[in-house]
Amino acid sequence: MDYLTHLGPIDQELAARQRATVLEMLQAGQSADTALELARQAMVWADHAISRLEWESPLPRPIVCQAGCHYCCINQVELTAPEALLLGHYVDLNFPDAEKARLMGRVIKSLRTRAGKTKPQIAQIRQKLRCPLLSQEGRCSVYPVRPLICRAMHSLDQEQCRRDLQSKLLGSFEYYAHRYGIVISVLAGLMEGCKAMGLQSGPLDIARALRDFFSRERPVERWIQGEKVFT
């Protein structure tokens, strides 16, 4: 869970509840539909938990993120295997063949640009590494199934986001810790539940996961059967 703990402390009770839900779903039947539903359920639960907390305790300052604002979409996103499966399934179902081909071109370009580089070195060139799923108009092309960590990202100062993107340094920014706390706790439970059932859980790089999904036959079915689908 090292890739999660640097984002903040994990709520062990919330993680345990998510783990129990994953086990319950998988023990009821291990099908392709169940595999996809694991990620959907986790996303709905995280979104609901954030919305409920913010309804009960209104935020002192507004979140400034809005459609078309994509400063955070240069972050190199990591996700779990269930999320990657749902993401790939959504693309396969909704993208025309020509758009799939363009997406895979962006995926390969991103992987080649980052090949052999450390995370600090990647941060230096992050302006060149827009998420491959970001449209030309600056909108997320998979917004309904965007990864959990993307749902946590937000800002209280759009100008600071702009300055950070232009800078080669990773600046600090203001945010609400509860959003990350909820998301990483749900992620921890999702990963732990999958691992307990002998299934590949993650973490995965989003570009590499997309490449793997579309280079394997029947990736969802193979994953739910216990195969290692993602590198």
Chain-wide mean pLDDT for the chain?
90
Q: Which residues contact 188 (CB under 8 A, 6 or more apart)?
A: 1, 4, 10, 15, 18, 19
| Extents of the domains making up the chain | 2-224
What pTM was estimated for this model as a whole? 0.93
The first and second tokens of residue 96, run together, are: 């025309």
> What share of the chain in percent tops pLDDT 70?
94
Backbone angles phi, psi at 129, to 5 degrees: -120, 50
- The confidence band for 170, taking pLDDT boundaries of 50, 70 and 90, is low
pLDDT in tens, 108-139: 999 999 889 888 888 778 778 889 999 888 89
Answer for the pair 15, 188: CB distance below 8 angstroms, yes or no.
yes
User: What average pLDDT does range 169-179 have in this prediction?
Assistant: 77
